[in-house]
Structures are given as structure tokens and as C-alpha cells.
Amino acid sequence: MKCPYCQIDNDKVIDSRSSEDGLSIRRRRSCVNCDKRFTTYERVGELEIQVVKKDNSRELFRPEKIRKGIERACWKRPIATSAVEKAIVEIVQGVYILAGSEVDSQQIGEMVMEKLIEIDDVAYIRFASVYREFRDIHDFFEEVRPILDKNQLQMERQKDQV
């Protein structure tokens, strides 16, 4: 590893630890030549996973598309950034576990929806309205009805406990 300060390829590793997402290793290094310290990250090379779209076309799996979709669904919602990041990491990990060389786009969409329903009902509905291509208010209502029923049941249980 070349030192970013003096460009000499002679350093020693001072500390190694797993990163927060568990997908990379963070290493603190010290240059033997100039004695300055710097950090590097080591991660597994990306697998070439193809996503099979609804029309049977294929494209390379890009985790940033999952991030963009989730961030758009959660926009202006009172959701902790850490919860969004955790969901993204879990979905991407799930895709790598699920996939061989290909994964169906619908499987990815369902994984996203499972995570969003745990995080926030409104974010879930926002994503579902695009993902499931709602045509009218009836489609919207059919997706919202189970959430309303679940919330009503929870409220009744809370009243019974009090």
C-alpha cells in the first residue's frame, strides 16, 4: 500500500478491526518512511450478479439503486439514519446470500418492502406505490388496509392492557 503522503510503498499495520457494516476491514497504517498514519479499508471484491427485470432483460446489480429507492421512500420521515443504513446493509447482504449469478428484481423489491414495513408505514406505502405500480386509489387502499387493521389491533391490545 502506497503512503498517501510520500508515495512510498512501505508501511506497517497498527490496528485492524471490522467496520460497522461488517462488510469491510478497517486498517490503521503507519508509513515506515515518513511516519505518518493513514487508514485503509479492505473488502471482498464485488460479485457480478445480474438482476433479471420484469421484461426478462438483465442488468448488473447495483446496491446504490436500493439506497436511492429507500432514501426516496423515507424522505422527510422521522426515521433514524442508522435504521435506514441498517436496512440497506441487510438487503444488500440478503441479495448476495440469495443470488447465485442472477437474482429476480421482484425478490429484491419484496426484500425492500419487508424492511420498510418494519421501519415506517408511510415509507412502505410510498415504495409500494411505485414498486407495485398503483393504478388508482383502490390499489392504494388495498395496500393500506392490512396496515390499518394491524394498527387497530395493536391499539385495542394496548387498551386492554391498561
Tell me what the mean pLDDT of segment 64-82 comes to: 95
Domain boundaries, position 24: 11-43
pLDDT, tens digit, 9 for 90 and up, residues 16-27: 998 766 667 889
Tracing cell 438483465 back to the chain, one arrives at 58
Q: Are residues 56 and 135 in the same domain?
A: yes
Structural domain includes residue 152: no
Q: What percent of the chain has pLDDT over 90?
A: 75
pLDDT score recorded for residue 4: 94
Determine the Cα–Cα distance for residues 125 and 113; give it in Å rounded to an integer. Answer: 9
- Spatial neighbors of 162 by CB under 8 A, at least 6 apart, are none
Mean pLDDT estimate for the chain: 91
90 and 22 inside one domain? no
Q: Is residue 22 part of a domain?
A: yes
User: pLDDT of 45-61, one tens digit each?
Assistant: 666 899 999 999 999 99
Does residue 96 share a domain with residue 54?
A: yes
Task: With respect to residue 161, please indicate whether it lies within any of the assigned structural domains.
Answer: no
Looking at the structure, do residues 36 and 105 belong to the same domain, yes or no? no
> What predicted TM-score, i.e. pTM, was given to this entire model?
0.68
Strands of the chain (E only): list them: 11-18, 24-31, 37-43, 50-52, 58-60, 102-104
Indicate whether 57 and 17 sit together in one domain: no
Domain presence at residue 139: yes
The whole-angstrom distance between residue 120's C-alpha and the CA centroid of its chain comes to 15
Do 25 and 88 have their domain in common? no
Assess whether 28 and 62 both reside in one domain.
Answer: no
Look at the chain and report how many structural domains it folds into. Answer: 2
Task: Indicate whether 77 pLDDT > 90.
Answer: yes
Cα–Cα distance for residue pair 69/75, rounded to 1 Å: 10
How many angstroms separate the CA atoms of 106 and 89, rounded? 18
64 lies in the same domain as 135? yes
CA distances (Å), 37 to each of 7, 13, 17, 65, in order? 13, 10, 16, 34
Give the CA distances from residue 142 to residues 44, 70, 106, 135, 155, in Å, rounded to whole numbers and listed in that order. Answer: 42, 21, 19, 12, 21
On whether both 34 and 97 belong to a single domain, the answer is no
Q: Are residues 58 and 30 in the same domain?
A: no
pLDDT tens digits, one per residue of 99-117: 778 999 999 999 999 999 9
Contact 37, 68 (CB under 8 A): no
Residues 110 and 88 in one domain: yes
